[in-house]
């Protein structure tokens, strides 16, 4: 197993750092003195690209410094920074848009036919991105792929109600005002109100992960980079994918070919089903197949990059890429990006990685954002549990600055305890500019957010780094135990493919928070991992992990093998929605006889299983249990920023009374039954 540092700092390698070796060394030593066990060097917010000699020289020097000071060096040769260079021999990344703009507010965007005339527009303007060397993604209009007429007062459609009027549509691009337009004439077939929806085509200056030409060019540049910098401990990208949100779809030849090979029918035949629901449910299969193909293309590209790095740096080279793009805010448009199934992407890395931004929202103990925090902590831990090398990193960060003195540092301290509790290592964000050229102290329009060391939380890092390092040592670098398994409903969300998926995700996040507050111990996976498991008696076993019960929230759509593994098992509970169909749009009977319509019913059902909560812990606390070489470590912390906990704790036959605590507390329970408090934060 590869040893990983408890904390690593993301470091923006700007022009100044690249051009001035003394400045590079000054910043490196500032990070190293703060106690970080590694640095991830991003050539970002810079006019240089990572494949250029000056940037390569800087990365090589950072690698040498890391070797000398015995900390890890993570290299970030992300292909998106080379998007223009990789697409020189092609037209870029083909995209479809069916919203009102690139970052759509209306999805799908339609326009009512009036007096037999129609006109529908989509704004096409550059999209700012911190992962594009040119600061924003530029688009080139390329016409319309399809235009359909549909009845205005319907939300779901019979196939015969969809009228293809592409041949009757004209295309216009207004370069001055930045919009594409489809217009023309159509005589509706009846007296109902009708409207049109258009799928506009455009090319983006963005790497196409499904294009062999792009990827061959990237791997050649990656090979040169890897050889030139000497060595690195880990290769990573940042939130990899197509940078598409709802209303925007990757539509390259490679993706279309994969779709046709997997289903036998061209994607263009079913194009409308990516935006509109069919009354016969056939959109379910179309969307599930399409979104899986998108993600598979990204994952294959990641895996190829890792394999290339291993071929040069050696077999101990790690790959660590957090796939959560908007996921932590419960925005499931990550499916359009190609990254929503975090667990399906695990083959591309040897640890678990997530993002958790905007923790400033947690300053109030009443914030609803605690549901997001709890979910990302548990998901991060779970990804680590099912990874090759059993570690997990949380890219946790804040927005803005203090409104009241000390509040940012205080809430960050709370989150450090939370990461320790769930075995999350810290991939901290970010030393140097946080944004892009021209917006260095903002992150894509955020409030002012100076990067380290110019942020009020910087002085806290030496102690936080030490605390996390000591905690990982105390728990033998192990991740907390679980006896409940929750299945994240990717298939249901794919079938929705719009903001309704966000509502479901947020409901799941709230459900997760309730379970954490109630001191249940659980993992979260998707069906990609679940279908690898099997029942052994009353336990469901995945890899070497055993679970007493399995919970399926919103499992309305499932993979066929999921149904085979779950049918009528009395240790399974469906929550919120019952199962209706498979991803092939075939009827599926109930996964289980047990169903909870809400969280209260789920808690009631869980309470009937003996010993499902191995620890009885004080109220207002969160608690985890970690198996170590000589017994167990029980870790506790306040459930919310600013709260205090204390009182009775019971584990096995041991009863302890904790003094009032306002931070992290760790209890050791040896195999011989001796229990002691080894770390506490008394009030």
pLDDT above 90 (res 432): yes
Q: To 10 degrees, what angle do helices 370-385 and 407-421 make?
A: 30
Angle at alpha carbon of residue 411, lines to 407 and 412, rounded to 5°? 115
Give how far Cα 1 sits from Cα of 314, 322, 350, 380, Å: 15, 20, 10, 18
Q: CA 243, 249, 251, 256 torsion: positive or negative?
A: positive
Q: In degrees rounded to 5, what are phi and psi of residue 8?
A: -135, 140
In whole angstroms, what is the distance from residue 217 CA to residue 223 CA? 10
In whole angstroms, what is the distance from residue 543 CA to residue 554 CA? 24
Average pLDDT of the chain to the nearest whole number: 96
Instruction: Write the pLDDT tens digit of every residue in 366-421.
Output: 999 999 999 999 999 999 999 999 999 999 999 999 999 999 999 999 999 999 99
What is 507-573 written as a DSSP string? Answer: HHHHHHHHHHHTT--EEEEEHHHHTT-EEETTEEEETTEEESEEEEET-SEE-HHHHHHHTT-TTEE
The position carrying tokens 């919203």 is: 99
Could you give the residue ranges of the DSSP H alpha helices within 367-406?
370-385
pLDDT of residue 175: 97
Residue 557's closest CA among 500, 486, 484, 496? 496
pLDDT of residue 568: 65
What residues form DSSP beta bridges with 491? Answer: none
Residue 432's closest CA among 27, 140, 6, 21? 27
Instruction: Write the pLDDT tens digit of every residue in 211-258.
Output: 999 999 999 999 999 999 999 999 999 999 999 999 999 999 999 999
Residue 509's closest CA among 571, 599, 415, 640? 599
pLDDT above 80 (res 567): no
DSSP character at residue 465: H
Q: CA 240, 246, 248, 251 torsion: positive or negative?
A: positive
Tokens of 445: 């329009």
In 10 A of CB 167, how many CB atoms?
7
pLDDT of residue 449: 83
The position carrying tokens 């679980």 is: 482
Q: In degrees rounded to 5, what are phi and psi of residue 464?
A: -65, -45
pLDDT of residue 683: 81
Instruction: Write the pLDDT tens digit of every residue in 274-285.
Output: 999 999 999 999
3-state secondary structure 101-139: ECCCCCCCCEEECECCEEEEEEECCCEECCCCCCCEECE
The answer to whether the CB of 288 falls within 8 A of the CB of 583 is: yes
Cβ within 8 Å of residue 249, ≥6 positions away: 95, 96, 97, 98, 274, 290, 336
Angle at alpha carbon of residue 113, lines to 112 and 118, rounded to 5°? 105
Tokens of 146: 């399809």
Q: In degrees rounded to 5, what are phi and psi of residue 506?
A: -65, -35
Mean pLDDT value across residues 485-509: 98
Look at the pTM and tell me if it is higher than 0.95. yes
pLDDT above 80 (res 89): no
Mean pLDDT value across residues 89-112: 94
**599-630 burial code (b ≥16 CB/10 A, e <16):** beebeebbeeeeeebbbebbebbbbbbbebee
Q: In degrees rounded to 5, what are phi and psi of residue 10?
A: -75, 135
Angle at alpha carbon of residue 243, lines to 237 and 248, rounded to 5°? 160
pLDDT of residue 397: 95
pLDDT above 90 (res 331): yes
Q: What percent of the chain has pLDDT over 70?
A: 100
pLDDT of residue 325: 87
pLDDT of residue 1: 64
The answer to whether the CB of 480 falls within 8 A of the CB of 465 is: no
In whole angstroms, what is the distance from residue 209 CA to residue 83 CA? 11
Rg of the chain over CA atoms, in angstroms?
26
């Amino acid at each position: 197993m590869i040893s990983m540092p408890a904390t690593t700092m993301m470091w923006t390698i700007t022009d100044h750092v690249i051009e001035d070796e003394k400045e590079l060394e000054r910043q490196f030593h500032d990070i190293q003195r703060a106690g970080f066990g590694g640095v991830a060097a991003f050539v970002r917010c810079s006019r240089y690209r990572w494949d250029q000699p000056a940037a390569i020289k800087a990365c090589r020097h950072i690698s040498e410094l890391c070797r000398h000071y015995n900390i890890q060096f993570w290299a970030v040769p992300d292909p998106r920074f080379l998007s223009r260079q990789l697409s020189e021999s092609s037209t870029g990344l083909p995209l479809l848009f069916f919203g009102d703009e690139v970052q759509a507010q209306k999805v799908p965007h339609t326009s009512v036919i009036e007096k037999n005339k129609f006109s529908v527009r989509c704004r096409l303007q550059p999209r700012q991105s911190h992962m594009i060397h040119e600061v924003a993604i530029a688009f080139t209009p390329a016409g319309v792929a399809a235009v359909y007429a549909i009845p205005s007062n319907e939300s779901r459609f019979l196939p015969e109600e969809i009228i293809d009027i592409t041949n009757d549509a004209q295309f216009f691009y207004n370069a001055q005002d930045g919009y594409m337009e489809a217009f023309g004439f159509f005589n509706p077939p009846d007296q109902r109100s009708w409207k049109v929806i258009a799928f506009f085509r455009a090319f983006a200056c963005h790497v196409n992960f499904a294009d062999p030409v792009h990827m061959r060019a990237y791997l050649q540049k990656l090979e040169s980079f890897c050889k030139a910098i000497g060595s690195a401990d880990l290769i990573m990208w940042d939130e990899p994918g197509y940078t598409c949100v709802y209303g925007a779809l990757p539509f390259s030849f490679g993706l279309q070919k994969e779709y046709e090979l997997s289903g036998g029918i061209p994607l263009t035949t079913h194009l409308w089903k990516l935006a509109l629901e069919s009354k016969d449910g056939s959109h379910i299969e179309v969307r599930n197949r399409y979104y899986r193909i998108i993600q598979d293309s990204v994952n294959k590209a990641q895996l190829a990059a890792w394999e290339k790095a291993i071929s040069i740096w050696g077999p101990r080279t790690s790959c660590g890429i957090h796939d959560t793009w908007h996921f932590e805010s419960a925005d499931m448009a990550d499916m359009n990006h190609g990254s929503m199934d975090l667990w399906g992407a695990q083959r591309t890395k040897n640890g678990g990685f997530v993002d958790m931004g905007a923790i400033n929202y947690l300053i109030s103990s009443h914030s609803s954002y605690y549901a997001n925090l709890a979910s990302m902590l548990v998901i991060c831990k779970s990804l680590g549990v099912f990874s090759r090398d059993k570690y997990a990193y949380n890219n946790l960060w804040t927005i803005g600055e203090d409104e009241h003195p000390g509040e940012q540092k205080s809430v960050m301290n709370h989150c450090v305890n939370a990461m320790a509790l769930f075995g999350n290592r810290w991939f901290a964000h970010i030393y140097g500019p946080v944004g892009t050229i021209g917006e260095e102290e903002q992150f894509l329009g955020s409030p002012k957010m100076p990067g380290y060391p110019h942020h009020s939380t910087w002085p806290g890092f030496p102690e936080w780094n030490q605390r996390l390092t000591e905690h990982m040592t105390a728990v033998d670098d192990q991740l907390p135990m679980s006896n409940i398994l929750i299945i994240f409903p990717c298939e249901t969300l794919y079938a929705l493919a719009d903001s309704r998926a966000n509502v479901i995700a947020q409901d799941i996040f709230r459900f997760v928070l309730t379970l954490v507050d109630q001191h249940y111990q659980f993992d979260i996976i998707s069906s990609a991992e679940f279908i690898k498991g099997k029942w052994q008696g009353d336990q469901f076993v995945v890899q070497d992990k055993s679970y007493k019960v399995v919970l399926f929230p919103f499992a309305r759509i499932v993979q066929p093998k999921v149904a085979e593994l779950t049918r009528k098992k009395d240790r399974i509970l469906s929550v919120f929605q019952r199962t209706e169909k498979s991803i092939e749009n075939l009827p599926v009977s109930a996964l289980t006889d047990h169903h909870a319509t809400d969280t209260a019913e789920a808690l009631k059902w869980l309470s009937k299983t003996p010993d499902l909560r191995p620890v009885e812990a004080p109220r207002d606390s969160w608690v985890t249990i970690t198996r170590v070489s000589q017994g167990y470590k029980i870790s506790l912390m306040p459930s919310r920023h600013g709260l205090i906990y204390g009182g009775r704790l019971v584990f096995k036959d041991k009863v302890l009374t904790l003094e009032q605590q306002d931070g992290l507390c760790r209890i050791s329970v040896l195999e011989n039954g001796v229990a002691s408090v080894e770390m506490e934060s008394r009030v």
